[in-house]
Amino acid sequence: MDRFVEFAGNNTLLVLALLTSFFVVIFTELRRKAGDVTSVVAGSAVQLINNDAAVIDLRSAESFARGHIVNARNVPFDELEGRLDKLGKLKGKPVIAVCDAGITSNKALAKLREAGFESVYSLKGGMHGWSQEGLPIVTSKKTGRRK
């Protein structure tokens, strides 16, 4: 213990940097939990999809046509609020919001929760994360475009 105190006394800036980074990590995690943002990795999303979760793709129609998750519904983020009534039948099931990188889908979660969706998730890493995991992607040519 004496050696620790001696080290801390000799390296105050290093100890302060360590304590600051520790508190930043704790603060960030608490803020994330308080914001109730729920992100799922691709493997967990597959499990949710296999248990009847709906996938809402928030990307543009062009990006959606280039490749999307099987049975995903394309609802561009800009149109989400106007189409919440049509998505109302999904309120009783888990919903996974997907965008390019996982940032826009976090914004969409708040709107979906305000509309009464109880079990909503954001795909961590978005379609980029999904692709990096080597999971299947279909194009609109194969499945027909859904709205």
For residue 102, the number of C-alpha atoms closer than 13 Å in the C-beta half-sphere is: 17
> Out of 75, 99, 123, 127, which one is annotated catalytic?
99
CA distance 138 to 131: 11
Break the chain into its structural domains and give their ranges: 2-34, 39-141
* 73 a catalytic residue: no
Q: Is the pLDDT of residue 109 over 60?
A: yes
pLDDT level of residue 113 (50, 70, 90 thresholds): confident
Task: Tell me: pLDDT of 33 over 90.
Answer: no
Secondary-structure breakdown of the chain: helix, strand, coil percentages, each rounded to the nearest 5: 55, 10, 35
In this prediction, residues 12-28 reach a mean pLDDT of 91
Fold of 39-141: Oxidized Rhodanese; domain 1 (3.40.250)
